[in-house]
A and B are shown apart, each in its own frame.
Chain A
Amino acid sequence: MEALINYLLNTALNLHAPEWVILLIRHLLVATILFLVVPFQMLLLTYFERRVIARMQDRVGPNRVGWEGVLQPIADAVKMFTKEDIVPAAADKGVHLLATGVVVVPTMFMLSVLPWGPGMTPVDFETSLLFFFAISSVSAIGLVMGGWSGNNKFSLLGAMRAVAQMISYEMPAILSILALVLMTGSMSISKIVEAQGGLIANLTDLPKVPDLGLGWLLFTPVGFLAFVCFFISALAEGERTPFDIPEADSEIVAGYMTEYSGMKFGMFYLAQYVLNFALCAITATLFFGGWQGPGVSQLSAMGANNQLFSILAGALGVVYLLLKTYFFFFTMVWIRGAFPRLRIDQLMGLGWKFLLPLTLVNIFSAAIWAACIHWGPEQGLAFLSAFGPWKRWAIAFLSTLVINLLAATLLVRINSSAESSMPKLVEDQKFGAVTLP
Chain B
Amino acid sequence: MTVKIEIQRGSAVPLSRRHPKFLGQGMLKGMEVVLDHWFKSFGPKLENFSQTAGIFTTEYPEERLKLAEAYRNLPILLYDDETGQELCTSCLQCEKICPPQVIHITQTKDPSTGKLVLAAAEFIIEYDACMGCGLCAEVCPFDSIKMDHHYELSTADHASLTMHKADLLRPVSYYQSLAPTFWEQTKENAYKKLQNTVKRRSGLLGIAPSMVGKVQPPETKPAE
Q: Which residues of A come within 8 Å of B, CB atoms?
A: 52, 55-60, 63, 334-335, 337-339, 408, 412, 427, 429-433
Interface residues on chain B, number (Cβ under 8 Å) = 28
Do A334 and B55 have beta carbons less than 8 Å apart? no
Residues of B within 8 A of A429 (CB): 1
CB-CB nearest in chain B for A412:
B23
Q: Would you call B57 an interface residue if the criterion is a C-beta within 8 Å of the partner chain's C-beta atoms?
A: yes
> Does the CB pair A430–B3 fall under 8 Å?
yes
A339 to B34, CA, bound (A): 10
Are B38 and A427 within 8 A (Cβ)? no
Contacts of A412 in B (CB 8 A): 23
Task: Please judge, given known A-B contacts A55-B41, A58-B53, A60-B57, whether A432 and B17 are in contact too, CB under 8 Å.
Answer: yes
A60 touches B14 (CB 8 A): no
User: Which interface residue of A56, A59, A429 has the most chain B CB atoms within 10 A?
Assistant: A56
Interface residue ranges, B against A (CB under 8 Å):
1-3, 5, 14-19, 23, 27, 30-31, 33-35, 37-38, 41-42, 46, 53-57, 59
Closest to B46 in A: A58
Provide the bound-state CA to CA distance between A408 and B53, in Å: 36
Given contacts A58-B57, A334-B35, A334-B38, 19 further A-B contacts (CB under 8 A): A52-B38, A56-B38, A56-B41, A58-B41, A58-B46, A58-B53, A58-B54, A59-B55, A59-B56, A63-B59, A338-B27, A338-B31, A338-B33, A339-B30, A427-B18, A427-B19, A432-B2, A432-B3, A432-B15
Q: How far is the CA of A335 from the CA of B34 in the complex (A)?
A: 9
Can you report 12 A-B residue pairs in the complex whose CB atoms are below 8 A from each other?
Answer: A55-B41, A55-B42, A59-B55, A59-B57, A60-B57, A334-B34, A335-B31, A338-B27, A338-B33, A427-B17, A429-B1, A432-B3
B214 to nearest A CB, angstroms? 43
In the bound assembly, the distance between CA atoms of A49 and B186 in angstroms comes to: 54
Picked from B5, B17, B34, B46, the residue with its CB within 8 Å of the CB of A56 is: B34
Report A-chain residues with C-beta under 8 Å of the C-beta of B2: 432
Find out whether the CB atom of A60 lies under 8 angstroms from the CB atom of B55.
Answer: yes
Q: Are B30 and A338 in contact (CB under 8 A)?
A: yes
- Contact A338:B34 (CB < 8 A) given known A58-B41, A432-B3: yes
B41 CB → nearest A CB, Å: 4
10 closest cross-chain pairs (CB), A and B: A432-B16, A55-B41, A338-B34, A337-B34, A338-B30, A60-B57, A56-B38, A338-B31, A433-B14, A55-B38
| Closest chain A residue to B3, Cβ basis | A431
Q: Which residue of A lies closest to B59 (CB)?
A: A60
Report A52 CB to chain B, min CB distance, Å. 7
Q: Enumerate chain B residues within 8 angstroms of A338, measured Cβ to Cβ.
A: 27, 30-31, 33-34
Instruction: Please name the residue on chain A nearest to B28 by beta carbon.
Output: A338
In the complex formed, the residue of B with least CB distance to A340 is B30
- Bound Cα distance from A423 to B152, whole angstroms: 56
Instruction: Find A57's partner among B5, B30, B31, B37 (CB 8 Å cutoff).
Output: B37
Taking CB atoms, residues of chain A closer than 8 Å to B59 are: 60, 63
Chain B residues whose CB sits within 8 angstroms of the CB of A430 once the complex forms: 3
CA distance A59 to B42 in the complex (A): 11
* CB nearest neighbor in A for B53: A58
Asked whether, in the complex, the Cβ of A58 is within 8 Å of the Cβ of B37, the reply is: yes
Do A334 and B31 touch across chains, with their CB atoms under 8 A apart? yes
Question: In this complex, what residue of A is CB-closest to B39?
Answer: A55
- Per the bound structure, the CA–CA distance linking A59 and B56 in Å amounts to 6
Q: How far is the CB of B25 from chain A (nearest CB, A)?
A: 12
Known A334-B35, A338-B31; judge A58-B15 contact (CB<8 A): no
Known A334-B31, A338-B30, A339-B27: A56·B37 in contact at CB below 8 Å: yes
A355–B156 alpha-carbon span in the complex (Å)? 60
B54 (CB) vs chain A CBs: closest residue: A58
- From B3, B17, B34, name the one whose CB has the most chain A CB atoms within 10 angstroms: B34
A339 to B27 alpha-carbon distance, docked (Å): 8
Give the residue name and chain of the B residue nearest to A415 (CB). B23
In the complex, how many angstroms separate the beta carbon of A328 from the nearest chain B beta carbon?
14
Residues of A within 8 A of B31 (CB): 334-335, 338
A57, A334, A335, A427 — which one has the most chain B CB atoms within 10 A of its CB?
Answer: A57
